[in-house]
Amino acid sequence: MKGVIFSELINWVEEDFSPALADQMITGAQLPVCGGYTAVGNYPHEQALAMLAALGALTGREGDDLSDAYGYWLAGRLAKHYPQYFAGHDSAISFLEAIDGIHQKEVSKLYPDARTPSVIAAVNGQDLLVSYASHRPFAEVAHGLIRGYIDHFGDNLAVLRDEQTPGPHAARFILQRK
Ligand code: HEM
């Protein structure tokens, strides 16, 4: 997985927890690269899971809760660093409907060796259904990203989880107007 996802994970812990805790997390995760991720490098996603597990042990928080919190924070960072992908979108619904194309075409142009997840959004009556699928187990990060973009655009939407797809590799989210 691209280094940007790992380096932002460390940035998140430094900012929302503390730089000292970020160091402890890196030590606890026993990473071969000692936390030195470059944005264009490619690293096993297990290293991100190891950092989240180490952070869970240090904070007493559940891994799912931390993954979701990381996704929420990451949403703001991606909006800041990749403004070009947000042009023309004024709502989370319109942005999420475009995200699969952005992942598949734009992100792949930027990082040709990326293997982005499938994130398909479809309008269903008043709701938006967002289906996540990946060979990586980051459904909770996707949940946090969706929450993050709802807040980023200031939309009045609640995110429900379809309990029939509870797995970390595949999940369906229902976005409902409040
Ligand atoms: C401008 C917005 C976005 C950018 C630039 C972006 C970019 C990326 C990049 C570079 C990766 C690493 C892929 C790899 O290394 O193979 C990634 C992974 C990921 N993206 Fe996005 N992304 C964006 C928005 C979203 C949104 C809105 C969602 C979900 C709703 C999402 C869900 C994920 C997840 C869960 C991963 C982790 C890898 C996996 O699950 O397979 N992303 N994204």
Q: Hey, what amino acid is at 94?
A: S
Could you give the percent of the chain with pLDDT greater than 90? 92
Give the number of the atom of ligand 1 that is nearest the alpha carbon of residue 45: 38
Cα–ligand 1 centroid distance for 169 (angstroms): 14
Nearest-10 crossing angle of helices 92-101, 139-153: 140
Residues 6+ away with beta carbon under 8 Å from 71: 138, 140, 141, 142, 143, 144, 145, 146, 147, 148
pLDDT in tens, 64-111: 999 999 999 999 999 999 999 999 999 999 999 999 999 999 999 999
| End-to-end CA separation in angstroms for the chain | 35
What integer pLDDT is reported at residue 1 of this predicted model?
96
> Could you tell me which of 62, 55, 65, 72 has the C-alpha nearest to residue 21?
55
pTM of the predicted structure, to 2 decimals: 0.96
State yes or no: pLDDT of 33 exceeds 90. Answer: no
Note the pLDDT of residue 32.
Answer: 86
In tens, the pLDDT along 142-175 reads 999 999 999 999 999 999 999 888 789 999 999 9
74 C-alpha to center of ligand 1: Å? 10
